[in-house]
A = this chain, B = another copy of it.
Amino acid sequence: MNISLRGQKIQASPIRKLKPYADQAIARGVKVYFLNIGDPDVPTPQPVYDAFRDFKDPVLSYGPAQGFKELHVAMCDYFAGYNIPLAPDNIIVTTGGSEAILFAFNVVADPGDEIIVFEPFYTNYNGYAYFANVKLVPVTLRGENGFRLPPDAEIEAMINPKTRAILLCSPNNPTGTVYTPEELERIARIVKKHNLYLIGDEVYKELVYDGLVHKSILEYKAIEDRTIVVDSISKRFSCCGARIGALITRSKDIYGAALKFAQARLCPPSVEQKAAIAAYKMGLSYFAPVRAEYEHRRNVLYEGLKAIPGVSLYKPQGAFYMIVRIPVRDVEKFVVWMLSEFSHENQTVMVAPAEGFYSTPGKGRDEMRIAYVLKEEDLRKAVVAFRTGLEKYRSLNP
Protein backbone atom coordinates (compact mmCIF):
# COMPACT_ATOMS: atom_id res chain seq x y z
CA MET A 1 0.00 0.00 0.00
CA ASN A 2 1.96 2.96 -1.26
CA ILE A 3 0.86 6.46 -2.04
CA SER A 4 1.64 7.86 -5.49
CA LEU A 5 5.21 8.52 -6.60
CA ARG A 6 4.45 12.21 -6.89
CA GLY A 7 3.09 12.17 -3.36
CA GLN A 8 6.34 10.60 -2.20
CA LYS A 9 8.63 12.86 -4.22
CA ILE A 10 7.09 16.30 -3.75
CA GLN A 11 9.37 18.27 -1.47
CA ALA A 12 8.18 19.66 1.82
CA SER A 13 8.15 23.45 1.75
CA PRO A 14 11.76 24.47 2.49
CA ILE A 15 10.43 27.72 3.92
CA ARG A 16 8.14 25.97 6.36
CA LYS A 17 10.09 22.89 7.32
CA LEU A 18 12.32 24.73 9.83
CA LYS A 19 9.34 26.30 11.57
CA PRO A 20 9.35 23.75 14.44
CA TYR A 21 12.80 25.06 15.49
CA ALA A 22 11.37 28.57 15.63
CA ASP A 23 8.44 27.32 17.68
CA GLN A 24 10.87 25.75 20.13
CA ALA A 25 12.84 29.00 20.41
CA ILE A 26 9.63 30.89 21.16
CA ALA A 27 8.68 28.22 23.72
CA ARG A 28 12.03 28.91 25.46
CA GLY A 29 11.07 32.59 25.69
CA VAL A 30 13.39 33.80 22.91
CA LYS A 31 12.17 36.61 20.64
CA VAL A 32 12.50 35.45 17.02
CA TYR A 33 12.72 37.96 14.17
CA PHE A 34 11.14 36.25 11.16
CA LEU A 35 12.95 37.23 7.99
CA ASN A 36 12.24 33.86 6.42
CA ILE A 37 8.74 34.28 4.99
CA GLY A 38 7.13 36.97 2.86
CA ASP A 39 4.09 37.64 4.96
CA PRO A 40 3.75 41.44 4.92
CA ASP A 41 3.23 43.33 8.18
CA VAL A 42 1.68 46.38 6.45
CA PRO A 43 -1.87 46.59 7.84
CA THR A 44 -4.56 45.24 5.52
CA PRO A 45 -6.47 48.31 4.27
CA GLN A 46 -9.75 49.10 6.01
CA PRO A 47 -11.93 48.85 2.85
CA VAL A 48 -11.13 45.13 2.80
CA TYR A 49 -12.58 44.66 6.26
CA ASP A 50 -15.50 46.96 5.44
CA ALA A 51 -16.31 44.67 2.49
CA PHE A 52 -16.35 41.61 4.78
CA ARG A 53 -18.64 43.44 7.19
CA ASP A 54 -20.96 44.64 4.45
CA PHE A 55 -21.48 41.27 2.78
CA LYS A 56 -25.18 40.59 3.30
CA ASP A 57 -26.35 38.30 0.47
CA PRO A 58 -28.99 35.96 1.94
CA VAL A 59 -27.06 32.97 0.56
CA LEU A 60 -23.29 32.79 0.16
CA SER A 61 -23.60 31.07 -3.19
CA TYR A 62 -21.29 30.00 -5.99
CA GLY A 63 -20.02 32.86 -8.13
CA PRO A 64 -18.94 32.63 -11.76
CA ALA A 65 -15.98 30.32 -12.44
CA GLN A 66 -14.02 33.25 -13.88
CA GLY A 67 -14.80 35.49 -10.90
CA PHE A 68 -17.09 38.48 -10.52
CA LYS A 69 -17.32 40.87 -13.48
CA GLU A 70 -17.06 43.80 -11.05
CA LEU A 71 -13.63 42.54 -9.98
CA HIS A 72 -12.52 42.16 -13.61
CA VAL A 73 -13.55 45.77 -14.21
CA ALA A 74 -11.75 47.01 -11.08
CA MET A 75 -8.61 45.18 -12.23
CA CYS A 76 -8.89 46.67 -15.73
CA ASP A 77 -9.03 50.13 -14.13
CA TYR A 78 -5.94 49.29 -12.09
CA PHE A 79 -3.95 48.12 -15.12
CA ALA A 80 -5.18 51.13 -17.14
CA GLY A 81 -3.40 53.22 -14.51
CA TYR A 82 -0.19 51.59 -15.72
CA ASN A 83 -1.18 52.16 -19.36
CA ILE A 84 -1.86 48.46 -19.83
CA PRO A 85 -5.20 48.09 -21.62
CA LEU A 86 -7.12 44.96 -20.62
CA ALA A 87 -10.70 43.78 -21.13
CA PRO A 88 -12.75 41.98 -18.45
CA ASP A 89 -12.57 38.77 -20.47
CA ASN A 90 -8.77 38.79 -20.33
CA ILE A 91 -9.01 37.95 -16.62
CA ILE A 92 -9.85 34.77 -14.70
CA VAL A 93 -9.94 35.27 -10.94
CA THR A 94 -8.12 32.45 -9.16
CA THR A 95 -7.76 31.18 -5.60
CA GLY A 96 -4.49 32.97 -4.95
CA GLY A 97 -1.69 33.43 -7.45
CA SER A 98 -1.00 29.76 -6.63
CA GLU A 99 -3.97 28.55 -8.62
CA ALA A 100 -3.10 30.87 -11.52
CA ILE A 101 0.32 29.19 -11.73
CA LEU A 102 -1.32 25.76 -11.66
CA PHE A 103 -3.75 26.72 -14.44
CA ALA A 104 -0.94 28.26 -16.50
CA PHE A 105 1.20 25.11 -16.23
CA ASN A 106 -1.76 22.91 -17.19
CA VAL A 107 -2.75 25.09 -20.13
CA VAL A 108 0.68 25.24 -21.74
CA ALA A 109 2.12 21.83 -20.88
CA ASP A 110 1.23 18.15 -20.86
CA PRO A 111 2.81 15.60 -18.50
CA GLY A 112 6.51 15.28 -19.24
CA ASP A 113 6.76 18.68 -20.95
CA GLU A 114 9.31 21.23 -19.78
CA ILE A 115 9.15 24.82 -18.60
CA ILE A 116 12.30 26.93 -18.32
CA VAL A 117 12.69 28.86 -15.11
CA PHE A 118 15.52 31.03 -13.80
CA GLU A 119 17.02 29.85 -10.53
CA PRO A 120 16.93 30.75 -7.72
CA PHE A 121 13.13 30.71 -8.03
CA TYR A 122 10.05 30.78 -5.84
CA THR A 123 10.08 27.29 -4.30
CA ASN A 124 6.37 26.69 -4.66
CA TYR A 125 6.75 26.49 -8.45
CA ASN A 126 8.07 23.00 -7.67
CA GLY A 127 4.83 22.02 -5.99
CA TYR A 128 2.74 23.15 -8.96
CA ALA A 129 5.13 21.36 -11.30
CA TYR A 130 4.52 18.11 -9.34
CA PHE A 131 0.79 18.67 -9.58
CA ALA A 132 0.98 19.30 -13.32
CA ASN A 133 3.66 16.65 -13.93
CA VAL A 134 5.76 19.25 -15.70
CA LYS A 135 9.55 19.39 -15.49
CA LEU A 136 11.06 22.73 -14.46
CA VAL A 137 14.38 23.23 -16.25
CA PRO A 138 16.60 25.74 -14.46
CA VAL A 139 18.83 28.41 -15.98
CA THR A 140 21.14 29.48 -13.18
CA LEU A 141 21.56 33.18 -12.41
CA ARG A 142 24.49 34.67 -10.52
CA GLY A 143 24.45 36.97 -7.54
CA GLU A 144 27.67 38.65 -8.69
CA ASN A 145 25.79 40.46 -11.44
CA GLY A 146 22.59 41.03 -9.46
CA PHE A 147 20.87 37.91 -10.83
CA ARG A 148 20.44 39.50 -14.28
CA LEU A 149 19.46 37.28 -17.21
CA PRO A 150 22.34 35.47 -18.93
CA PRO A 151 23.11 35.83 -22.66
CA ASP A 152 20.48 34.46 -25.07
CA ALA A 153 22.66 31.48 -25.94
CA GLU A 154 22.64 30.25 -22.33
CA ILE A 155 18.83 30.36 -22.27
CA GLU A 156 18.39 28.88 -25.75
CA ALA A 157 20.72 26.00 -24.87
CA MET A 158 18.01 24.70 -22.53
CA ILE A 159 15.28 24.69 -25.20
CA ASN A 160 14.38 21.32 -26.74
CA PRO A 161 11.27 19.84 -28.39
CA LYS A 162 9.68 19.25 -24.98
CA THR A 163 10.04 22.90 -23.94
CA ARG A 164 6.69 24.65 -23.81
CA ALA A 165 7.24 27.89 -21.93
CA ILE A 166 9.54 30.25 -20.11
CA LEU A 167 8.51 31.39 -16.64
CA LEU A 168 9.79 34.79 -15.53
CA CYS A 169 9.11 36.41 -12.16
CA SER A 170 9.59 40.20 -12.03
CA PRO A 171 9.99 41.85 -9.55
CA ASN A 172 11.64 38.63 -8.50
CA ASN A 173 11.05 36.42 -5.52
CA PRO A 174 13.63 35.52 -4.12
CA THR A 175 16.25 37.83 -5.65
CA GLY A 176 14.46 41.20 -5.72
CA THR A 177 15.70 41.76 -9.27
CA VAL A 178 13.50 43.85 -11.57
CA TYR A 179 14.14 42.85 -15.16
CA THR A 180 14.90 45.68 -17.57
CA PRO A 181 12.96 46.40 -20.80
CA GLU A 182 16.07 45.14 -22.63
CA GLU A 183 15.91 41.81 -20.80
CA LEU A 184 12.18 41.46 -21.39
CA GLU A 185 12.62 42.21 -25.09
CA ARG A 186 15.21 39.47 -25.31
CA ILE A 187 12.84 36.99 -23.66
CA ALA A 188 10.02 38.10 -25.95
CA ARG A 189 12.22 37.46 -28.99
CA ILE A 190 13.25 34.03 -27.68
CA VAL A 191 9.69 32.82 -27.00
CA LYS A 192 8.56 34.02 -30.42
CA LYS A 193 11.55 32.50 -32.21
CA HIS A 194 11.11 29.10 -30.52
CA ASN A 195 7.31 29.17 -30.46
CA LEU A 196 7.01 29.02 -26.67
CA TYR A 197 4.59 30.48 -24.16
CA LEU A 198 5.71 33.13 -21.68
CA ILE A 199 4.38 33.00 -18.12
CA GLY A 200 5.04 36.14 -16.10
CA ASP A 201 4.70 36.10 -12.32
CA GLU A 202 4.20 39.79 -11.56
CA VAL A 203 2.59 39.71 -8.14
CA TYR A 204 5.14 42.21 -6.75
CA LYS A 205 4.39 44.76 -9.50
CA GLU A 206 4.02 47.74 -7.13
CA LEU A 207 7.19 47.11 -5.20
CA VAL A 208 9.92 48.69 -7.33
CA TYR A 209 12.40 51.19 -5.92
CA ASP A 210 14.97 53.81 -6.88
CA GLY A 211 12.43 55.47 -9.18
CA LEU A 212 12.25 52.41 -11.45
CA VAL A 213 9.00 51.69 -13.32
CA HIS A 214 7.87 48.08 -13.57
CA LYS A 215 7.60 46.76 -17.10
CA SER A 216 5.04 44.00 -17.61
CA ILE A 217 5.22 41.29 -20.25
CA LEU A 218 1.65 42.40 -21.08
CA GLU A 219 3.23 45.45 -22.73
CA TYR A 220 4.73 43.42 -25.60
CA LYS A 221 2.17 43.32 -28.40
CA ALA A 222 4.15 40.89 -30.54
CA ILE A 223 3.74 38.09 -27.97
CA GLU A 224 0.26 38.74 -26.67
CA ASP A 225 -1.00 35.47 -28.19
CA ARG A 226 1.46 33.54 -26.01
CA THR A 227 1.58 35.59 -22.82
CA ILE A 228 0.07 34.66 -19.43
CA VAL A 229 0.45 36.85 -16.35
CA VAL A 230 0.04 35.44 -12.85
CA ASP A 231 -1.33 38.07 -10.52
CA SER A 232 -2.42 38.28 -6.87
CA ILE A 233 -3.69 40.74 -4.28
CA SER A 234 -1.70 38.99 -1.52
CA LYS A 235 1.30 41.31 -1.41
CA ARG A 236 -0.38 44.21 -3.24
CA PHE A 237 -2.88 44.80 -0.43
CA SER A 238 -1.34 42.81 2.46
CA CYS A 239 -4.03 40.19 1.92
CA CYS A 240 -2.14 36.88 1.78
CA GLY A 241 -4.91 35.05 3.64
CA ALA A 242 -7.59 36.20 1.19
CA ARG A 243 -6.43 33.84 -1.57
CA ILE A 244 -7.44 36.03 -4.49
CA GLY A 245 -5.26 35.98 -7.57
CA ALA A 246 -5.76 36.08 -11.31
CA LEU A 247 -4.65 34.59 -14.59
CA ILE A 248 -4.42 37.33 -17.21
CA THR A 249 -4.13 36.70 -20.95
CA ARG A 250 -5.23 38.26 -24.20
CA SER A 251 -5.12 34.87 -25.95
CA LYS A 252 -8.58 33.42 -26.49
CA ASP A 253 -7.15 29.89 -26.66
CA ILE A 254 -5.39 30.20 -23.33
CA TYR A 255 -8.41 31.90 -21.76
CA GLY A 256 -10.77 29.20 -23.04
CA ALA A 257 -8.73 26.34 -21.65
CA ALA A 258 -8.06 28.08 -18.33
CA LEU A 259 -11.79 28.75 -18.01
CA LYS A 260 -12.53 25.04 -18.33
CA PHE A 261 -9.99 24.27 -15.59
CA ALA A 262 -11.61 27.05 -13.55
CA GLN A 263 -15.07 25.52 -14.05
CA ALA A 264 -13.78 22.23 -12.69
CA ARG A 265 -13.13 23.86 -9.30
CA LEU A 266 -16.38 25.86 -9.48
CA CYS A 267 -15.36 29.35 -8.30
CA PRO A 268 -12.95 31.42 -6.21
CA PRO A 269 -14.12 32.64 -2.76
CA SER A 270 -17.01 35.11 -3.10
CA VAL A 271 -16.62 37.34 -0.05
CA GLU A 272 -12.89 37.70 -0.57
CA GLN A 273 -13.57 38.87 -4.13
CA LYS A 274 -15.79 41.63 -2.75
CA ALA A 275 -12.87 42.60 -0.52
CA ALA A 276 -10.55 42.66 -3.54
CA ILE A 277 -12.95 44.96 -5.40
CA ALA A 278 -12.92 47.34 -2.44
CA ALA A 279 -9.13 47.24 -2.33
CA TYR A 280 -8.70 48.01 -6.03
CA LYS A 281 -11.15 50.90 -5.74
CA MET A 282 -8.68 52.68 -3.43
CA GLY A 283 -6.72 53.58 -6.59
CA LEU A 284 -3.01 53.64 -7.33
CA SER A 285 -2.27 56.38 -4.78
CA TYR A 286 -2.56 53.74 -2.06
CA PHE A 287 0.77 52.25 -3.08
CA ALA A 288 3.12 55.24 -2.75
CA PRO A 289 3.55 55.12 1.04
CA VAL A 290 3.70 51.31 1.04
CA ARG A 291 6.44 51.39 -1.59
CA ALA A 292 8.33 54.10 0.31
CA GLU A 293 8.19 52.04 3.50
CA TYR A 294 9.59 48.89 1.83
CA GLU A 295 12.26 50.88 0.01
CA HIS A 296 13.38 52.35 3.31
CA ARG A 297 13.51 48.91 4.90
CA ARG A 298 15.51 47.58 1.99
CA ASN A 299 18.04 50.34 2.53
CA VAL A 300 18.28 49.66 6.27
CA LEU A 301 18.76 45.94 5.75
CA TYR A 302 21.15 46.31 2.84
CA GLU A 303 23.40 48.74 4.72
CA GLY A 304 23.29 46.61 7.87
CA LEU A 305 24.19 43.36 6.10
CA LYS A 306 26.82 44.91 3.82
CA ALA A 307 28.78 45.97 6.89
CA ILE A 308 29.15 42.38 8.13
CA PRO A 309 32.54 40.85 7.23
CA GLY A 310 32.29 37.97 4.76
CA VAL A 311 28.71 38.74 3.73
CA SER A 312 28.16 39.51 0.05
CA LEU A 313 25.01 40.84 -1.53
CA TYR A 314 23.81 43.15 -4.26
CA LYS A 315 21.15 45.82 -3.77
CA PRO A 316 17.81 44.51 -5.10
CA GLN A 317 15.43 46.87 -6.92
CA GLY A 318 12.09 45.33 -6.07
CA ALA A 319 9.80 42.96 -4.17
CA PHE A 320 10.84 42.58 -0.51
CA TYR A 321 13.44 39.86 -0.72
CA MET A 322 17.16 39.57 -1.13
CA ILE A 323 19.51 36.66 -1.62
CA VAL A 324 22.62 37.01 0.53
CA ARG A 325 25.80 34.92 0.48
CA ILE A 326 27.18 34.34 3.96
CA PRO A 327 30.45 32.76 5.06
CA VAL A 328 29.12 29.39 6.25
CA ARG A 329 29.23 26.07 4.45
CA ASP A 330 25.59 25.08 4.97
CA VAL A 331 23.06 27.79 5.75
CA GLU A 332 20.42 25.27 6.83
CA LYS A 333 22.61 24.05 9.69
CA PHE A 334 23.31 27.67 10.62
CA VAL A 335 19.58 28.46 10.68
CA VAL A 336 18.87 25.48 12.95
CA TRP A 337 21.72 26.55 15.25
CA MET A 338 20.48 30.15 15.36
CA LEU A 339 17.07 28.92 16.49
CA SER A 340 18.03 26.13 18.82
CA GLU A 341 21.36 27.14 20.37
CA PHE A 342 21.83 30.88 19.96
CA SER A 343 20.33 34.04 21.32
CA HIS A 344 21.62 37.57 21.75
CA GLU A 345 19.92 39.58 24.46
CA ASN A 346 17.29 36.84 24.29
CA GLN A 347 16.71 37.49 20.59
CA THR A 348 17.44 35.55 17.44
CA VAL A 349 16.69 35.61 13.72
CA MET A 350 15.12 33.14 11.32
CA VAL A 351 16.10 33.29 7.65
CA ALA A 352 15.36 30.91 4.78
CA PRO A 353 18.21 28.77 3.43
CA ALA A 354 18.45 29.59 -0.29
CA GLU A 355 19.24 26.03 -1.35
CA GLY A 356 15.52 25.27 -1.61
CA PHE A 357 15.19 28.06 -4.19
CA TYR A 358 17.56 26.27 -6.59
CA SER A 359 16.78 23.04 -8.39
CA THR A 360 20.38 22.36 -9.43
CA PRO A 361 21.76 20.16 -6.61
CA GLY A 362 24.26 21.86 -4.35
CA LYS A 363 23.53 25.41 -5.54
CA GLY A 364 22.77 28.10 -3.00
CA ARG A 365 24.00 26.18 0.04
CA ASP A 366 25.92 29.23 1.27
CA GLU A 367 23.10 31.66 0.53
CA MET A 368 20.03 32.77 2.44
CA ARG A 369 16.84 34.50 1.39
CA ILE A 370 15.69 37.38 3.52
CA ALA A 371 12.26 39.01 3.46
CA TYR A 372 12.14 42.55 4.82
CA VAL A 373 8.65 42.46 6.20
CA LEU A 374 9.46 43.92 9.64
CA LYS A 375 9.51 47.54 10.65
CA GLU A 376 12.80 49.44 10.75
CA GLU A 377 13.39 49.14 14.48
CA ASP A 378 12.98 45.36 14.37
CA LEU A 379 15.10 45.06 11.24
CA ARG A 380 17.94 46.90 13.01
CA LYS A 381 17.70 44.60 16.03
CA ALA A 382 17.53 41.60 13.72
CA VAL A 383 20.73 42.67 11.97
CA VAL A 384 22.55 42.98 15.31
CA ALA A 385 21.36 39.53 16.42
CA PHE A 386 22.23 38.06 13.02
CA ARG A 387 25.72 39.58 12.99
CA THR A 388 26.42 38.42 16.54
CA GLY A 389 25.14 34.93 15.79
CA LEU A 390 27.11 34.64 12.56
CA GLU A 391 30.34 35.65 14.30
CA LYS A 392 29.79 33.16 17.10
CA TYR A 393 28.84 30.36 14.68
CA ARG A 394 31.99 30.97 12.64
CA SER A 395 34.14 30.88 15.74
CA LEU A 396 32.57 27.52 16.67
CA ASN A 397 32.78 26.19 13.09
CA PRO A 398 36.02 27.62 11.70
Known A1-B226, A126-B264; 13 more pairs at CB < 8 Å:
A3-B107, A4-B110, A6-B110, A10-B261, A43-B59, A52-B55, A95-B243, A106-B130, A124-B265, A242-B269, A243-B267, A243-B270, A272-B272
- How many Å lie between the Cα of A2 and that of B251 in the bound state? 11
Given contacts A106-B4, A265-B96, contact A241 B270 (CB under 8 A): yes
Chain B residue with Cβ nearest A113: B4
A257 contacts partner chain B, Cβ-Cβ < 8 Å: yes
CA distance A264 to B101 in the complex (A): 11
A241-B269, A271-B272 known; A42 vs B16 contact (CB < 8 Å): no
Interchain CB contact under 8 A, B238 and A3: no
Q: Within 8 Å CB of A59, what residues of B?
A: 39-44, 238
> A131 is contacted by which of B57, B61, B124, B264 (Cβ under 8 Å)?
B264
- The 8 A CB mask of A119-138 against B (1 = contact, 0 = none) is 00000101110111100000
Flag if A264 contacts B110 (CB, 8 Å).
no
Interface residues of A toward B: which range?
35 or more
Task: Decide if A360 is an interface residue (CB 8 Å cutoff).
Answer: no
Interface pair B10/A260, CB less than 8 Å apart:
yes
**What residues of chain B lie closer than 8 Å to A107, measured between beta carbons?**
3-4, 7
Q: How far is the CA of A346 from the CA of B253 in the complex (A)?
A: 38
- Asked whether any CB of chain B lies closer than 8 Å to the CB of A84, the reply is no
Tell me if A330 counts as interface (CB < 8 A to partner B).
no
Q: Are A260 and B111 in contact (CB under 8 A)?
A: no
